[in-house]
A and B are shown apart, each in its own frame.
Chain A
Amino acid sequence: MLSRVAERLYWCARYLERAENTARLVRTYLQLSLDLPAKAQPGWGLVTEVLGAEEGFSKRRRALNEKNVLPFVTLSTEHPVSIASTIGMARENLRTTREIVPSEAWERVNALHLYVRRRASSGTSGGRYRMLSEVVQRCQQITGLLSGTMNHGDGYQFLRIGRNLERADMTSRILDVGSAHVLGGKVEQAPYEYILWMSVLKSLSAYQMYRQHVRRRVRATQVLAFLLKAVEFPRSIAHTLEEVRASLMRLPNPAPALKAMADVESRLEQADTDELRGERLRQFIDELQQDLARIHTQCDRIWFHPNA
Chain B
Amino acid sequence: MPVRERQVDFSEYAAADKYDELITPQGTARAGAGGIVSHLRRLTHKRLIARQQAADLAIQAMGITFTVYSEGENIDRAWPMDIIPRVISLREWRRLEEGLVQRLTALNLFINDLYNEQRILKDKVVPAELLHSSGNYLEACAGITPRHGVWAHICGSDLVRDGDGTVYVLEDNLRVPSGVSYMLENRAVTKRVFPQLFRKHSILPVDDYPGQLFDTLAELSPRPLDYPEIVVLTPGIHNSAYFEHAYLAQQMGAELVEGPDLVVGDDDCVYMRTIHGLERVDVIYRRVNDDFLDPEVFREDSLLGTPGLFRAWRKGNVGLANAPGAGVADDKIVYTFVPEVIRYYLDQDPIIPNVPSYLCTDPKQREYVLANLAKLVVKPANESGGYGMLVGPASTAAERKRFAALIKKRPRNYMAQPALNLSTAPTLCDGRIEPRHLDLRPFSLQAGSSKVSAGGLTRVAMRRGSLVVNSSQGGGSKDTWIVDTER
Binding site for B on A (CB under 8 A): 1-6, 92, 95-100, 103, 106-107, 110-111, 114, 154, 251-252, 302-303, 306-307
Contact = CB atoms under 8 A, between A and B. Distances in A.
Contact of A107 (B62, B237, B273, B276): B62
B272 interface: yes
A96 B237 CA distance: 7
B247 interface: yes
A295 B197 CA distance: 55
Contact of B276 (A100, A106, A252): A252
A4 B258 contact: yes
B275 A251 contact: yes
B275 A303 contact: yes
B274 A3 contact: yes
A2 B277 CA distance: 9
B329 to A, nearest CB: 30
Nearest to B262: A2
A107 B258 contact: no
A97 B260 CA distance: 16
A110 B61 contact: yes
Given A2-B257, A99-B256, A154 B275 contact: yes
Contacts of B63: 95, 98, 106-107, 110
Given A4-B261, A99-B246, A99-B250, 5 more contacts: A4-B260, A96-B246, A110-B62, A251-B275, A252-B276
13 contacts: A2-B274, A3-B275, A4-B260, A5-B255, A92-B237, A95-B246, A96-B237, A98-B63, A99-B247, A107-B61, A114-B60, A154-B275, A307-B273
Closest 3 pairs (CB-CB, A-B): A99-B250, A99-B249, A110-B63
A116 B254 CA distance: 32
B274 A1 contact: yes
Contacts of A107: 61-63
Interface in B249-271: 249-250, 254-258, 260-261
Interface string B328-359: 00000000000000000000000000000000
A3 B273 contact: yes
A2 B249 contact: no
A146 to B, nearest CB: 15
Nearest to A155: B275
Interface of B: 60-63, 237, 246-247, 249-250, 254-258, 260-261, 272-277
Contacts of B257: 2
Nearest to B237: A96
Contacts of B237: 92, 95-96
Among B256, B258, B272: residue with most chain A CB under 10 A = B256
Contacts of A97: 256
A2 B255 contact: yes
A99 B249 CA distance: 6
Contact of A306 (B249, B250, B272, B273): B273
B261 A103 contact: no
A192 to B, nearest CB: 45
B246 A252 contact: no
Nearest to A251: B275
A230 B32 CA distance: 67
Contacts of A99: 246-247, 249-250, 254-256
A2 B273 contact: yes
Query: Quick one: which of B60, B250, B257 has the most chain A CB within 10 A?
Result: B250
Contact of B272 (A2, A92, A307): A2
A251 B276 CA distance: 9
Contacts of A6: 275
Nearest to A108: B61
Nearest to A91: B63
B364 to A, nearest CB: 52
B263 to A, nearest CB: 9
Most A CB within 10 A of own CB, among B60, B258, B274: B274
A97 B242 CA distance: 11
Contacts of A111: 61
Contacts of A1: 274-276
Contacts of A110: 61-63
